[in-house]
Structure 1
């Protein structure tokens, strides 16, 4: 048994991506952020759909074309495969804990 809130680092200079489950059809990933955002250039452009929830903190997702979505604790969104997006920002005063489910 594991807990998604265990082993949260006290210092987080870079985002941490951890696979919790990985099969041929689904991958569940815990992401830890603390004020990070995606690089200015480039977009996530994935072959899989991605369902993501913020369990703690806040994250702002920007989509190609300028639409932004702010996710607070408990908020979730489904991002379709090939839908270009990036993280515009995350909470600076606490660790943001994301749970992302990638599926075909």
Structure 2
């Protein structure tokens, strides 16, 4: 048994990406952020669909078409493969825990 809120580092100078489960067709990942954002240049352009949920903190996503979406605890979104996006903000004063499922 495990808990998504266990073993969160006290120091988060960089985002933490942790695979929780990986199969041939599915990957479940925990992402831990604290004031992090995507690199200024470029977009995520993934070959997989991504279902992502914020469990604590918040995250702001921006899409190539200009949409900006804020995800708060309990909010989730499905991002289609090759739908270009990036994280433009996460909570600076608290830990943001994301659960991402790639399929």
Q: TM-score, normalised by structure 1?
A: 0.97
Cα distance between partner residues in 1 of 2:64 and 2:83? 8
The secondary structure found in structure 1 opposite 2:102 is strand
Residue 49 of structure 1 and its aligned partner are, at CA, apart by: 0.3
Residue 66 of structure 1 and its aligned partner are, at CA, apart by: 1.3
Aligned CA RMSD, in angstroms, stands at: 0.5
Whether 1:64 aligns to 2:86 is no
Cα deviation 1:47-100 (Å, max 9, x = unaligned): 110000000000000000211100000000000000000001000010000000
Cα distance between partner residues in 2 of 1:65 and 1:48? 19
| Number of residue pairs matched by the alignment | 103
Higher strand proportion: 1
Gaps of 5+ in 1: none
Cα distance between partner residues in 1 of 2:54 and 2:39? 20
1:97 maps to which residue?
97
Whether 1:43 aligns to 2:43 is yes
Whether 1:53 aligns to 2:14 is no
Cα distance between partner residues in 2 of 1:30 and 1:79? 16
2:3 maps to which residue?
3
Q: TM-score, normalised by structure 2?
A: 0.98
